[in-house]
Amino acid sequence: MPETTYSISDLASEFGVTTRTIRFYEEKGLIHPRREGQKRVYSPADRVRIKLILRGKRIGMSLRESVEVIDLYDPEHNNEEQLNSLINTVREKRARLLQQKKDIDEMLGGLDEVEALCEQALDDNHRSQR
Amino acid sequence: MPETTYSISDLASEFGVTTRTIRFYEEKGLIHPRREGQKRVYSPADRVRIKLILRGKRIGMSLRESVEVIDLYDPEHNNEEQLNSLINTVREKRARLLQQKKDIDEMLGGLDEVEALCEQALDDNHRSQR
DNA sequence: GATCAAGTTTACGTTTACGTAAACGTATGC
DNA sequence: GCATACGTTTACGTAAACGTAAACTTGATC
């Protein structure tokens, strides 16, 4: 099967980051692209990892934290103790995400008010000019 | 009217930050507490500003950006041009917040899956031990 | 009046997440 | 055969958001 691959600039332009950023993620051990000679070759799995890292970034996660979340997916957890601690981790992450959603909703509410006030002010201006 | 006031450590402990953090916000011009002699005295308005700044932080905003959002509230915007640019700012902020909500929901979905898998694995272990 | 607790200024240190520049390799089109 | 685009390593720089330490005031308390 002809597995799709990506160059570093493919991914950089797809995600709107610089190649420096992607190399930096590799330095930090977040991704491990193959090499063909000198050049880095990225797999679809690498691509997804980058995507998830950037998703984490958008909601204010550190790189370390994003990777922590991503690594929840791969099942290197066998025994009961590990599974339980994993469940706890999941619940903590979830709690924080729910708090973030609340924060966002509050802020959205504020923006709605501001916009309404603006539109009313514009409207008033127009009326008074007639 | 006896306006409520707060000491720096009042606010620090209320919000779970250090006094250094609050002084830092002042250095950056984010808040402007009164002085009584040497000491800083915070008003309810100061308190709210800090609260909003920290809310912004939780969803990954920079201090500068949080202040930008906060400052949308105070009406120093008179003419039509300013009002329109303000509305645009509001819409951009809103777009980003909606994207963040999507990101969070996706991540929550992932966490749900992980937790379900964990619980199933635990369940399987228990069954096989009977 | 000595000893705290809480506050102050000044200043240097630290972590994160890249930016930027130098100096070099490689292959592709004209 | 040489420019040009794309890639590489190495390394120093930087902005944001505080931490940490030193050295000092200032009431409150025993």
Residues B6 and B70 in one domain: yes
A31 in any annotated domain:
yes
Structural domains counted in chain A: 1
| Residue that is written with structure tokens 């898998």 in the block | B117
Q: What is the pLDDT of residues B54-113, one digit of tens each?
A: 999 999 999 999 999 999 988 777 788 889 989 999 999 999 999 999 999 999 999 999
Query: Does the residue A16 lie in any domain?
Result: yes
> Which of A51, A52, A59, A106 to mutate against chain B (most B CBs within 10 Å)?
A59
CA gap B64, B122 in Å, rounded? 46
pLDDT, tens digit, for every residue of A79-102? Answer: 888 899 999 999 999 999 999 999
Q: How far is CA B125 from the centre of its chain?
A: 43
pLDDT at residue B64 in the model: 95
Say if the Cβ atoms of B101 and A103 lie within 8 Å. no
CATH of the domain at A23: 1.10.1660.10
Whether residues B67 and B106 share a domain: the answer is: no
How far, in Å, is the CA of A44 from the C1' of nucleotide C25? Answer: 27
3-state secondary structure A63-130: HHHHHHHHHCCCCCCCCHHHHHHHHHHHHHHHHHHHHHHHHHHHHHHHHHHHHHHHHHHHHHHHHHCC
Q: Domain range for residue B67?
A: 1-74
Report residue A82 as tokens.
Answer: 């590990």
The H-or-E segment that residue B124 falls in is helix B80-128
